[in-house]
């Protein structure tokens, strides 16, 4: 398999789209109520040291991904076992995002269309881009950011006359406990999902600054989500925001400048779908790469099709209804994803640091003996 390389700009664009994929469509940090925008900003701050953990792991093992790192630290058996745990997390995340994409499109635009239709179409696109390789995905991410990032900014500026500051006053009206719960929710979704990049950033150049890539992607993506969420609360108010499955669509529909510019929700739908597509593709690439490492395949691309079809099948049957899905997301997601995103990476970094330190000491002893 030829060595794939992406630039730091492409890596940053991938992180931006990955963070915004789903977060721009779904309510984020909803437990904080009208303070959810503030909870997102707090989660962004807390995500900085978490991303430093991710960057440090990759810096200790340049040119390697999480699966190589786990085998080096814990040995072949336990390393592969931990790798399977992360593969399951990423596979489940991809299934959830694929289901979100299908429900988003069916609920808003194609109510008479069976959900399997858009899910299959996106699955085929994901197979294509993963088989095309990491470099192709990086170039597409660069293009999508240029096309998608200005859209939320333009919508926010056009909505300023309809914003009501009383919708976010008083601050911390629901109490500090709700604010902290919303912060934890936002930390897990969407910021914690970026742990998936530990599995695919083997394509980074060895000299690239991992910390810079992660932090820049976090800041751009996080500020975008916080700005959109604040605009949605200011325009819709807390009650309408929390009672709506896809508040960004409702907000974009309120943009109206005479008869010249109306119905911007169509553009918002296109921007959201592209970020959904990139997020599912990253998850598919990570799972394919992990399975190839676990079972000794030379190229992860040959596994893309069967894994994608399995994700497609799971996404159609994982939830009985949209209501049940949202209930599961609100009650379970935070505590279910927390170990994969925060606890395990910190433990792995501790063991990596210890092993590197012990290896350094052994090398010094050998040099002295020589």
Q: What is the DSSP string of 275-319?
A: HHHHHHHHHHHHHHHHHHHHHT-S-GGGGHHHHHHHHHHHHHHS-
**What is the predicted pLDDT for the residue at 27?**
83
Q: Cβ neighbours of residue 339 under 8 Å, at least 6 residues apart?
A: none
Name the DSSP letter for residue 261. E
**What is the predicted pLDDT for the residue at 67?**
95
Work out the number of other CB atoms within 10 angstroms of the CB of residue 122. 23
φ and ψ at residue 262, rounded to 5 degrees: -145, 170
Q: How far, in Å, CA of 8 to CA of 208, rounded?
A: 7
At 94-151, the pLDDT tens digits run 999 999 998 888 888 778 889 899 999 999 999 999 999 999 999 999 988 887 777 7
Q: Which among 15, 281, 1, 16 has a CA at the least distance from the CA of 136?
A: 281
**Residue 256 forms beta bridges with which residues?**
262
Q: Which among 188, 191, 282, 211 has a CA at the least distance from the CA of 58?
A: 211
Q: What is the pTM of this model?
A: 0.93
Exposed/middle/buried for 235, CB within 10 Å: 0-12, 13-18, 19+? buried
> Are the beta carbons of 21 and 276 closer than 8 angstroms?
yes
> Are the beta carbons of 36 and 30 closer than 8 angstroms?
yes
φ and ψ at residue 205, rounded to 5 degrees: -65, 140
Work out the number of other CB atoms within 10 angstroms of the CB of residue 23. 27
Q: Which among 154, 163, 162 has a CA at the least distance from the CA of 261?
A: 154
> Are the beta carbons of 184 and 333 closer than 8 angstroms?
no
> Are the beta carbons of 103 and 114 closer than 8 angstroms?
no
- What domains does the chain contain, in order, with CATH numbers? 8-369 (1.20.1740.10)
**Residue 257 forms beta bridges with which residues?**
261
Location of structure tokens 């009383």: 166
User: CA torsion, points 279, 282, 285, 290, in degrees to nearest 10?
Assistant: -110
Quote the radius of gyration of the chain (alpha carbons, Å).
21
Name the DSSP letter for residue 204. B
Q: How far, in Å, CA of 47 to CA of 221, rounded?
A: 12
At 99-112, the pLDDT tens digits run 999 888 888 877 88
Q: Which among 49, 71, 11, 26 has a CA at the least distance from the CA of 220?
A: 11
H runs (alpha helix) in the chain: 8-20, 36-60, 66-108, 116-132, 134-148, 150-158, 176-188, 210-236, 238-242, 247-252, 265-295, 304-317, 322-331, 333-338, 344-369
Give SS3 for 6: strand
Q: Cβ neighbours of residue 222 under 8 Å, at least 6 residues apart?
A: 19, 40, 41, 43, 44, 47, 191
Location of structure tokens 């170039």: 139
Q: How far, in Å, CA of 295 to CA of 314, rounded?
A: 22
At 197-242, the pLDDT tens digits run 999 998 888 776 899 999 999 999 999 899 889 988 998 888 888 8
Give SS3 for 257: strand
Work out the number of other CB atoms within 10 angstroms of the CB of residue 91. 20
Per-residue pLDDT of the chain (370 residues; tens, 9 = 90+): 457 889 999 999 999 999 987 788 888 888 898 899 999 999 999 999 999 999 999 999 988 999 999 999 999 999 999 999 999 999 999 999 999 998 888 888 778 889 899 999 999 999 999 999 999 999 999 988 887 777 777 777 788 888 888 989 888 888 899 999 999 999 999 999 999 999 999 888 877 689 999 999 999 999 989 988 998 899 888 888 888 888 877 787 777 665 555 566 777 778 888 889 999 999 999 999 999 999 999 899 999 999 999 999 999 888 888 888 888 888 888 899 999 999 999 999 999 999 988 876 655 565 555 5
């Amino acid at each position: 398999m030829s060595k794939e390389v992406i630039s730091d700009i492409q890596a940053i664009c991938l992180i931006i789209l990955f963070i915004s994929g789903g977060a721009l469509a779904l309510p984020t940090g909803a437990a904080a109520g009208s303070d959810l925008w503030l909870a997102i900003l707090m989660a962004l701050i807390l995500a900085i040291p978490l991303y430093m953990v991710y960057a440090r792991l990759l810096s200790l093992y340049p040119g390697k991904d999480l699966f190589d790192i786990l085998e080096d630290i814990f040995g072949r058996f336990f390393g592969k076992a931990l790798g399977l745990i992360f593969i399951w997390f990423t596979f489940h995340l991809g299934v959830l995002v694929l289901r979100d994409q299908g429900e988003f499109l069916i609920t808003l635009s194609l109510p008479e269309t069976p959900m399997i239709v858009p899910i299959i179409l996106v699955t085929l696109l994901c197979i294509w881009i993963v088989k095309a390789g990491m470099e192709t995905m990086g170039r597409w991410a660069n293009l999508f950011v240029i096309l998608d990032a200005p859209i939320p900014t333009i919508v926010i500026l056009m909505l300023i006359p309809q914003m009501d500051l009383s919708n976010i006053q008083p601050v911390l009206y629901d109490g500090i406990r709700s604010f902290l719960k919303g912060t934890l929710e936002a930390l897990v979704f969407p910021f914690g999902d970026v742990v998936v990049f530990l599995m695919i950033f083997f394509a980074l150049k060895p000299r690239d600054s991992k910390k810079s890539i992660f932090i820049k992607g976090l800041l751009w993506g996080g500020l975008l989500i916080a700005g959109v969420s604040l605009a949605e609360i200011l325009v819709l108010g807390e009650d309408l925001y929390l009672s709506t499955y896809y508040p960004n669509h409702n907000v974009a529909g309120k943009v109206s400048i005479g008869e010249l510019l109306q119905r911007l929700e169509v553009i918002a739908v296109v921007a959201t779908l592209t970020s959904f597509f990139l997020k599912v593709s990253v998850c598919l690439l990570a799972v394919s790469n992990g399975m190839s490492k676990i079972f000794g395949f030379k190229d992860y691309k040959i596994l893309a099709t069967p894994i994608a079809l399995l994700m497609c099948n799971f996404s159609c049957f994982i939830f009985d209804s949209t209501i049940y899905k949202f209930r599961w997301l609100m009650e379970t997601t935070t505590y279910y994803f927390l170990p994969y995103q925060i606890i395990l990476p910190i433990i792995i970094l501790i063991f990596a640091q210890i092993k590197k330190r012990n290896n350094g000491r052994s090398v010094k002893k050998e040099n002295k003996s020589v």
